[in-house]
Structure formats: structure tokens, C-alpha cells
């Protein structure tokens, strides 16, 4: 222990003695360890931290799936849910919920909050207890029980932490609901946040009733029995689903898909985080290789010291320990600085992350992250310290102690090791750069995707009309008619429309039949996005009308019911025919008397309404002026002549002028919405690009230092060559060639690695791959040519400067070196 203490003291003195070396090494390590710690803080928060539910690993999401039609995680029908619940033996319990929005009134201004209508057992399935009050009771299952549980945040922010809130009524959509419980501050709705904004209120009364198995409306979550695995549960649910499929023709093709809740929550974020973690690990390895190189050079300069120690009786182990203490001390100092960098980095990462990234609220430097950093620092210290320590532990005492001995003589083994380190740096940097290159190309492709609409200068706002006064659709239509007239009269507004939802977020799908094929076989009823819009919708959104006419104010409940279909729908159902005048009914039953046949009056251009990643899906548009609608319009779209955000306060005033209880929420420009689906990719690209640049700089520093050192080592040789007639250019070429050979070998190895990695990525499931590489081959030829070229250029530059210095070697001085 005493010896170790002495080693630490001596190591500190050594580091103080070479401040240049210490600063450079610490900086490189701090960058490497800091980047790793920052990314790990995200990985820890998002992927490793258990979900805030009791025995969360037993929670699973239960989906319906129809692989034949390309639907894999579909919300479920009430009947199927009830049958599953009754027939299964694998779940301790099952709960269902429906995401919703509620107008919370009673405060200073109306506010729309996200919430859920749930089965009364949701919280007991999750294993959550309230901090105040109680959970829902089974008898509160029925609609009309009007009880609510609120989040801790809503309690604090909206009700000032009122200790007597439990038992009081709150107004949701104009109806009084009694608060029966308040959830703990640690509770998060991770189980559903990826499907909807964070919920702040839960109301009982989902009251699942048979309404037809073709109606898929609810999310389902279940808790596995303690001794049941996910695979066993899936097997039983498959059996139940196939029984239901045989029993009910409308369920043809539908099965059940179970997804572990944790996997469900992080499935879109995990690939990106793992890629980033891999990237920073590579950066750290490159930094390690660089510091190892510096240590090797330093060890060479300390041969005499080591020889004296050996001559005085130091064992091999003692010499190794002394070197390792020094390297570990370096990495610990690097880690301390790295923690500071990680603190900033972690904040920046959270800020850079798309808002939909799950579980970010816990991203911080906590005990686990600290432990990770210490382990990484210790590992790093050993990784870069071991080779120099082993090399120095067998000094040639006889040679080293000779006064005349060339102090900087270098063994071929040491040189090979340094070369190998530089080669590996280039290999690692190449892998990172290829990854970043592929991401850049992916993003370029995503930005070039034709989404079918023109998002510039378009504002979207949510104006939800809830409550008893708007239950009559005619009242809603009147409100929107007045509001649109007011908005379109505002200066700078070119056009405005209502819409059910916003493109890019996806719409609700609906079954329909055409008059040409009124009776499709069960399970093969076509479906399309059902979009309720205003007459100026296409003009406002910049969606071209290919055929026919847009809607007008003359399309009213008393005129012929009309519909506009998308090109893809028209092409699929009336190939080679004029779709104008064709008829369809938005129902799976052509004989449904309650719903009218709609005449096609127009064909609109296709829109990627489910994001750039998704293909065009068929859409059918119906005019809000011609009720009844199956879904209520909630959004207002406004096209302005210039930047649309300035007009928001005016629109708020116009809404309040019509009804001061109607909230305005989700204000956003269409440009922001279009950028939404690519935000994660963009963040990953920037981060990967930054890490790749860092790797490139570190690799350049690596090759520069090795070549510089080699030039010092070769002074004598270069002097002889110059004395024998080598001119300056020859010497520069000689040195640059050495750098290029190392870089080329590194690049070749890196290419082989990157190629292997690309094939691995190409075998990933489609969804995971899509998030990283969109429309880009993992073996994209341009990237695989451009990246080695960049690395070769960097190697050329990094070797050129030492080469130029070598050319200035004075042969007389060099020859006197002997």
C-alpha cells in the first residue's frame, strides 16, 4: 500500500514535470470520457432505468396485428379485448385506455390538457399507488361516473397543491368530475407517452361495450402472471386470436402481438442511442490509442530511469505498476474533467433531443453514471497504459546505462506497436465517418422526399370544440364557418381551413366500400384515412387538385353528399377509369342505411400524411360543411403571405371573440411539423457528425505525432540519405509515404469493418433500419469512396508537416547524432 502511495506521488510529480504531455493527454481523455458519460447518461435514463411501475418487466402492450395488410401494432377492438381478458390464463390482469384531450376550464383561461379515459383497473395493473385519495373503483367503470385522477404536476401547477383537491369537482369538457386521487410525482405515463402527449388527467368510464370487431379504438396493457414468459403468453394469445378469427369473419387476418412495455417505450430511440454509444466508444478508443502513443514515446525517453530502477532491484511487476498508476491517474484526471464536459453535454443532448424522445426527464449525472465514468476511466487507464508499461518493464539495463548510448533508440517492436495504434485509429475513424456519411445521406434523402404539400407559411392551431354546447355538429360547423371568415379577412392571410388533425401525424383510418364493389369479402374491406376538411383546405396546404373541383360552401347537408379522394385511392379502386362521379360509402357495410353514398367530385394529389418514412396511404376527404361527420374537425390551417407566427395572437383573439371558453393549443407551423419525423435522425446525424469529426481530429493528431516522432527517430537516417543525394522533395515524400502507408492499412481494415457493420445493419428489422438509414444502402458506394478519400487527405496533411520539418534536417547535424 505504501509502495502504491509512493507510486501515486511519483506519478503526480512526473505529470507535473511534463505539463505539455499531461495537458494534451488529459484533454483527449476528457473529451473521450466526457462524450461517453454524456451519452451514457441518456442511455441510462432512457434504456436502463426501470419503468416507474411495480415489477415493470412483467408489463406488456397488447396489440392487434394484421400482417397481411401491413399493420403490426394496431389498437384493439373492445370485443376482442373483452374476449382476450376472459379467455387468457397468462395475464394477471389486463387494462385498456383511450388517449384524449380535455378542455379544463375554471382557471384564468381555458386550457386543453392531454388525458386518458381508462378502465378502472389501469393503475392496479401498473402497480401504482396515489399520494392522496384512492384509485378508481370497479363500479366507476361505467360512463357517467364522472371521477378523475390527476397527475402530481397538474395538482401543483393548476391547483397550487391544494391539499383539499381530492373530493372537489373539476370541469373537463364542461362536465364536472370529482377528483378521487392524485398520482405521485415519480409517476410518468411512459406506457402511453409515445402514442400521445403526456397525460395529466385520467377519467374512469371507458366502459368497453361490443360495437363491432372492425372498430379498433383502444390501447391495451397487461401484466404477465409471475411465472409466465412473453413467449408463452404470445403462444396462448395466438391460439385465442385464431379461435376468434374462425368465429368472426370480420376478424379475418387479425392476430395478437405482445410487446414488452420497456421495448415498446424505447423501440424508436434504442437504435439511435446504441449507435451513438458505439460512436463515442470508438472516439474513446481513438483517444486511448493517441495517449498510448504519447506514453510509448515517453517511456522510450525514460528508458534510463527504468533501467536504473531495474538495476536497483525493482521487479517487473513494480515497474508495470508504476506505469499503470501513472496512466490511471491521467485517466482519472481526464474523467474528472470529462464529468464537467458530460454535465454540459448531457444538458445539450436533452435540449437537442426531439420532444417525443421518451424518458428524458431523468437524464442526469447520477450514481450509475458516476460509476460508469469511474469504470470507464479505470479501464481506459489500463487500456492505454498497459502496452507502454509492458514495454518499459523489460529495460536493456546494460545498453541504457551506457553514457554514450543513444538515449532515444527505439526498438522495432515499439515502432510496430505505435504503427498499429495509428492504423487502428484510422480504422475506427473510418467506421465512424462511414456511419456519419450514411446518416447525412439519409437526411438528404428525407429532405428530398416529396411529401405532397407545401409547408411554407402555413400555421396550424388546435381549436377543440368540446362540451354539451358543441355536441350538435351543426353548432361546430357554424363556429368554424364564422371563425374561418374572420381569419380569412385578416391582413396577410391568403386562405384558411379546418381539418381533422394534421398531416404527418397520421389520420384515423376508416373502412369504406365502393358502389362498384359493395360487398368485399370479410377481412378485405378497404380502408382509407378519413379527413374532414374545409373548402380551402387544398389551397391552404398547397396540395394539388388533380381532377374535378374542390369543396365549396354550396356543399351543405341538403345537397348531394360528396367526397374527394387521393390519387392513390382512385388508382387502386378505379384503375383506368374516370373517378369523378364514382360513389363510395364510409362503412364496411354497403347496406348501412345510416350513412350516405358519397359522390367523388375531385381527386387530390397524394400526401405522405404519416411522415416521410411512410408510403402514400389512400385518403378520402369530406367537407365539414356537409355533416354528419364521423370525426370532428379540430384544427385550423392558415396560409399567410409571409411568416405565419405573427398572426397567432390575432387568431387567439378571434377565437375568444366567438367563445372565450374554447382553448387554442398546439400552435405550430407546418414547416415544424414536417421536420418532426426527421428530428431524431437530424439529431443523431449532428451528434454522429460531431463525434466523427472529433475522431478524425484525434486520428490526425495520432498520425501527426507518430510521424513527427518517427522523423525525430529517423533524423540520422534522413541525414545519411541527404548526404547520399536525397533532395528535400524526396525526404518529404519518404515521410509522407510512411504516413500514407499507415493510413491506407488503417482505412483498409476500417473498410472491411464498416462493410461488415453495413451488412449487420442491413439485416436489422426494417423499422429499426429505417430510422437510421432511409433510402440509403448500408454499403452506399459514394460514402465508401468519399470517406477513405477524406481520411487519405487528412493523413497526407498530417504527415506533410513533419515531412517538411524532416526536409530541413541538416545532414551535418544528423550525422553527428552518432
- Residue with smaller CB distance to another protein, 157 or 810: 810
- Which one of the spans 170-178, 485-493, 644-652, 712-720 is the region binding another protein (CB under 8 A)? 712-720
CB of 710 to another protein, least distance (A): 12
x/- binding map, residues 714-733, to another protein, per CB under 8 A? --xx--xxxxxxxx--x---
> Quick one: 132 or 721, whose CB is closer to another protein?
721
> Nearer Cβ to another protein, position 316 or 415?
415
Q: Report the alpha-carbon distance of residue 294 to residue 298 in Å, rounded.
A: 6
Q: How far is the CB of 748 from another protein (least distance, A)?
A: 23
Closest listed residue to residue 643, CA positions, set 684, 672, 615, 613: 672
Q: In which element (H, E) is residue 425 found? A: helix 412-448
Task: Provide the minimum distance between the beta carbon of 725 and another protein in the complex, in angstroms, as a whole number.
Answer: 4
Are 795 and 419 a contacting pair, CB within 8 Å?
Answer: no
557 to each of 352, 441, 641, how far by Cα in Å? Answer: 48, 50, 33
Q: Looking at beta carbons only, is 524 or 810 nearer to another protein?
A: 810
Distance in Å, CB of 720 to another protein, minimum: 5
User: Which residues, other chains included, contact 808 with Cβ-Cβ below 8 Å and sequence gap of 6+?
Assistant: 728
Residue nearer to another protein on the CB measure, 398 or 559: 398
Contact with another protein (CB under 8 A) among 23, 641, 793, 812: 812
Residue with Cβ nearer another protein (445 or 716): 716
The minimum distance between CB 818 and another protein, in angstroms, equals 5
Using the minimum distance from each CB to another protein, give the nearer residue, 98 or 717.
Answer: 717
User: Which of 73/717 has CB closer to another protein?
Assistant: 717
- For residue 191, which of 12, 392, 52, 393 has the smallest C-alpha distance? 52
Roughly what angle, to the nearest 10 degrees, separates helices 303-311 and 316-352? 140
Nearer to another protein, 583 or 716 (CB): 716
CA angle, corner 544, sides to 539 and 548, nearest 5?
Answer: 95
Specify the pairing of strand 201-204 against strand 493-499.
Answer: unpaired
**CA gap 512, 518 in Å, rounded:** 9
* Total residues in contact with another protein, by rule CB under 8 A: 15
Q: Is the peptide bond before 628 cis (omega within 30 degrees of 0)?
A: yes
In terms of Cα–Cα distance, which of 651, 527, 661, 662 is closest to 584?
527
Which of 645-651's residues contact partners 24+ apart within 8 Å by CB, and which partners?
645/459, 645/669, 646/492, 647/459, 647/490, 647/492, 647/493, 648/459, 648/461, 650/490, 651/459, 651/461, 651/487, 651/490
- For residues 441 and 450, what is the distance between their CA atoms, to the nearest angstrom? 16
Whole-number minimum distance, CB 272 to another protein, in Å?
48
DSSP state of 56: G
3-state secondary structure of 614: coil
CB of 815 to another protein, least distance (A): 6
Least CB distance to another protein at residue 402 (A): 16
Nearest distance from C-beta of residue 420 to another protein, angstroms: 18
Q: Which is nearer to another protein, 590 or 726 (CB)?
A: 726
If the CB atoms of residues 370 and 815 are measured against another protein, the closer one turns out to be 815
CA 281 to chain centre: 19
Q: Which stretch binds another protein (CB under 8 A): 105-113, 469-477, 691-699, 808-816?
A: 808-816
If binding is defined by CB under 8 A, does position 418 make contact with another protein?
A: no
Could you say which residues in the range 421-440 bind another protein, by CB under 8 A?
none
User: Shortest Cβ distance from residue 719 to another protein (Å)?
Assistant: 8
Shortest CB 2 distance to another protein, Å: 44
**Complex with another protein: residue 350 or 720, whichever CB lies closer:** 720
CA gap 203, 178 in Å, rounded: 10
Kind plus residue range of the DSSP H or E element containing 637: strand 635-640
Alpha helices in 603-647 (DSSP H): none
Using CB under 8 A as the criterion, what x/- string covers residues 74-113 for binding another protein?
----------------------------------------
In the bound complex, what is the minimum distance in angstroms from residue 817's beta carbon to another protein? Answer: 10
Distance CA 743, CA 737 (A): 10
Rounded to whole angstroms, how far apart are CA atoms 552 and 398? 100
47 half-sphere exposure, CB direction, 13 A CA radius: 15
For the bound state, the minimum distance from the C-beta of residue 734 to another protein, rounded and expressed in Å, comes to 11
Closest CB 412 distance from another protein, rounded Å: 9
Closest CA to 128 of 77, 190, 83, 194: 190
Q: Interface with another protein includes 399 (CB under 8 A)?
A: no
Give, as ranges, the residues between 728 and 767 that touch another protein (CB under 8 A).
730
Binding mask 667-706 for another protein (x = CB under 8 A): ----------------------------------------
Burial class (CB in 10 A: 0-12, 13-18, 19+), 756: exposed
Rounded CA gap, 44 and 363, in Å?
7
- Report residue 346 as a C-alpha cell: 448531457
Give, as one character, the DSSP assignment of residue 248.
-
Phi, psi of 614 (to 5 degrees): -95, 155
State the nearest-atom distance from the C-beta of 804 to another protein, in Å.
15
User: How far is 24 from 333, CA to CA, in rounded Å?
Assistant: 12
User: CA angle, corner 99, sides to 465 and 662, nearest 5?
Assistant: 20
How many residues in total does the chain contain? Answer: 818
SS3 14: helix
Regarding 815 and contact with another protein (CB under 8 A), the answer is yes
Judged by CB, which is closer to another protein: 348, or 812?
812
| CB neighbours of residue 22 within 10 Å | 18
DSSP 66-89: EGGGTEEEE-EEHHHHHHHHHH-S
**Cα Dmax for the chain:** 110
Q: Considering beta carbons, is residue 397 or 726 the nearer one to another protein?
A: 726
Pick 228 or 815: Cβ nearer another protein: 815
Closest CB to another protein among 273 and 734?
Answer: 734
C-alpha distances out from residue 741 to 42, 274, 423, 703, 712, Å: 39, 32, 9, 11, 18
Please identify, using beta-carbon distances, which residue of 306 and 410 lies nearer to another protein.
Answer: 410
Q: Which is nearer to another protein, 609 or 713 (CB)?
A: 713
Q: State in angstroms the smallest separation of the CB of 415 from another protein.
A: 10
- Residue 177 half-sphere exposure, CB side, CA atoms within 13 Å? 28
CB of 705 to another protein, least distance (A): 21
| CB of residue 425 to another protein, shortest distance in Å | 24
Residues that bind another protein (CB under 8 A): 716-717, 720-727, 730, 811-812, 815, 818
Amino acid at each position: 500500500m505504501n509502495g502504491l502511495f509512493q507510486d501515486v506521488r511519483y506519478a503526480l510529480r512526473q505529470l507535473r514535470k511534463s505539463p505539455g504531455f499531461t495537458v494534451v493527454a488529459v484533454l483527449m481523455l476528457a473529451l473521450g470520457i466526457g462524450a461517453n458519460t454524456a451519452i451514457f447518461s441518456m442511455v441510462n435514463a432512457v434504456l436502463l432505468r426501470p419503468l416507474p411501475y411495480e415489477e415493470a418487466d412483467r408489463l406488456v402492450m397488447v396489440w392487434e396485428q394484421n400482417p397481411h395488410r401491413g399493420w403490426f401494432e394496431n389498437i384493439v377492438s373492445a370485443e376482442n379485448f373483452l374476449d382476450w381478458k376472459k379467455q387468457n390464463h397468462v395475464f394477471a390482469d389486463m387494462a385498456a385506455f383511450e388517449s384524449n384531450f380535455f378542455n379544463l376550464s375554471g382557471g384564468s383561461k381555458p386550457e386543453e390538457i392531454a388525458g386518458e379515459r381508462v378502465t378502472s383497473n389501469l393503475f392496479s395493473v401498473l402497480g401504482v399507488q396515489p399520494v392522496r385519495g384512492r384509485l378508481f373503483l370497479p363500479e366507476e367503470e361505467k360512463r357517467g361516473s364522472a371521477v378523475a385522477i390527476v397527475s402530481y404536476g397538474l395538482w401543483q401547477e393548476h391547483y397550487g397543491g391544494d391539499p383539499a383537491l381530492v373530493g372537489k369537482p373539476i370541469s373537463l369538457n364542461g362536465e364536472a368530475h370529482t377528483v378521487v386521487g392524485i398520482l405521485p410525482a415519480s409517476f410518468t405515463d411512459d406506457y402511453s407517452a409515445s402514442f400521445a402527449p403526456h397525460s395529466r388527467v385520467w377519467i374512469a368510464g371507458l366502459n368497453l361495450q361490443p360495437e363491432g370487431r372492425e372498430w379498433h379504438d383502444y390501447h391495451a396493457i397487461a401484466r404477465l402472471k409471475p411465472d409466465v414468459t412473453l413467449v408463452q403468453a404470445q403462444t396462448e394469445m395466438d391460439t385465442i386470436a385464431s379461435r376468434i378469427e374462425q368465429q368472426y369473419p370480420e376478424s379475418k387476418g387479425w392476430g395478437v402481438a405482445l410487446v414488452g412495455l420497456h421495448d415498446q417505450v424505447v423501440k424508436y430511440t434504442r437504435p439511435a442511442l446504441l449507435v451513438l454509444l458505439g460512436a463515442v466508444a470508438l472516439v474513446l478508443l481513438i483517444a486511448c490509442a493517441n495517449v498510448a502513443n504519447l506514453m510509448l514515446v515517453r517511456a522510450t525517453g525514460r528508458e534510463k530511469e527504468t533501467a536504473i530502477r531495474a538495476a536497483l532491484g525493482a521487479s517487473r511487476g513494480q515497474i508495470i505498476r508504476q506505469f499503470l498508476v501513472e496512466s490511471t491517474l491521467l485517466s482519472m484526471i481526464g474523467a474528472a474533467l470529462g464529468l464537467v464536459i458530460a454535465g454540459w453535454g448531457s444538458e445539450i443532448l436533452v435540449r437537442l433531443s426531439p420532444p417525443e424522445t421518451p424518458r428524458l426527464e431523468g437524464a442526469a449525472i447520477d450514481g450509475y453514471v458516476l460509476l460508469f465514468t469511474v469504470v470507464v476511466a479505470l479501464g481506459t487507464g489500463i487500456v492505454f497504459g498497459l502496452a507502454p508499461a509492458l514495454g518499459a518493464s523489460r529495460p536493456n539495463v546494460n545498453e541504457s546505462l551506457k553514457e554514450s548510448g543513444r538515449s532515444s533508440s527505439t526498438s522495432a517492436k515499439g515502432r510496430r506497436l505505435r504503427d498499429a495504434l495509428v492504423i487502428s485509429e484510422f480504422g475506427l475513424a473510418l467506421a465512424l465517418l462511414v456511419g456519419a456519411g450514411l446518416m447525412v445521406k439519409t437526411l438528404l434523402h428525407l429532405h428530398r422526399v416529396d411529401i405532397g404539400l407545401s409547408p411554407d407559411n402555413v400555421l396550424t392551431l388546435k381549436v377543440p370544440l368540446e362540451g354539451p354546447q358543441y355536441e350538435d355538429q351543426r353548432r361546430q360547423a357554424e363556429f368554424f364557418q364564422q371563425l374561418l371568415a374572420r381569419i380569412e379577412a385578416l391582413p396577410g392571410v391568403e386562405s384558411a381551413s379546418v381539418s381533422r388533425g394534421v398531416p404527418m401525424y397520421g389520420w384515423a383510418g376508416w373502412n369504406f366500400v365502393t358502389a362498384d364493389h359493395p360487398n368485399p369479402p370479410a377481412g378485405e374491406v378497404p380502408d382509407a384515412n378519413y379527413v374532414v376538411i374545409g373548402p380551402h383546405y387544398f389551397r391552404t396546404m398547397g396540395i394539388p387538385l388533380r381532377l374535378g373541383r374542390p369543396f365549396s360552401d354550396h356543399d351543405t347537408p341538403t345537397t348531394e353528399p360528396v367526397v374527394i379522394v387521393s390519387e392513390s385511392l382512385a388508382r387502386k379502386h378505379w384503375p383506368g377509369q374516370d373517378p369523378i362521379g364514382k360513389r363510395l360509402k364510409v362503412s364496411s357495410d354497403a347496406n348501412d342505411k345510416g350513412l350516405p353514398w358519397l359522390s367523388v367530385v375531385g381527386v387530390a394529389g397524394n400526401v405522405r400524411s404519416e411522415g416521410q418514412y411512410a408510403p402514400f396511404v389512400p385518403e378520402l376527404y369530406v367537407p365539414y360543411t356537409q355533416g354528419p361527420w364521423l370525426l370532428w374537425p379540430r384544427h385550423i390551417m392558415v396560409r399567410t403571405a409571409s411568416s405565419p407566427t405573427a398572426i397567432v395572437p390575432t387568431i387567439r383573439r378571434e377565437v375568444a371573440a366567438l367563445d372565450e371558453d374554447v382553448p387554442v393549443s398546439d400552435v405550430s407551423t407546418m414547416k415544424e411539423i414536417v421536420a418532426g419525423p426527421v428530428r431524431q435522425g437530424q439529431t443523431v446525424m449532428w451528434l454522429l457528425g460531431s463525434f466523427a469529426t472529433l475522431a478524425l481530429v484525434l486520428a490526425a493528431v495520432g498520425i501527426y505525432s507518430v510521424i513527427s516522432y518517427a522523423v525525430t527517430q529517423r533524423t540520422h537516417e534522413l541525414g545519411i540519405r541527404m548526404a547520399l543525394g536525397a533532395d528535400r522533395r524526396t525526404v518529404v515524400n519518404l515521410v509522407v509515404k510512411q504516413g500514407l502507408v499507415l493510413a491506407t492499412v488503417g482505412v483498409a481494415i476500417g473498410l472491411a469493418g464498416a462493410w461488415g457493420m453495413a451488412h449487420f445493419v442491413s439485416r436489422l428489422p426494417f423499422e429499426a433500419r429505417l430510422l437510421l438509414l432511409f433510402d440509403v444502402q448500408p454499403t452506399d458506394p459514394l460514402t465508401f469512396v468519399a470517406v477513405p478519400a477524406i481520411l487519405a487527405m487528412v493523413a497526407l496533411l498530417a504527415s506533410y508537416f513533419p515531412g517538411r520539418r524532416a526536409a530541413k534536417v541538416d545532414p551535418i547535424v544528423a550525422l553527428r547524432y552518432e
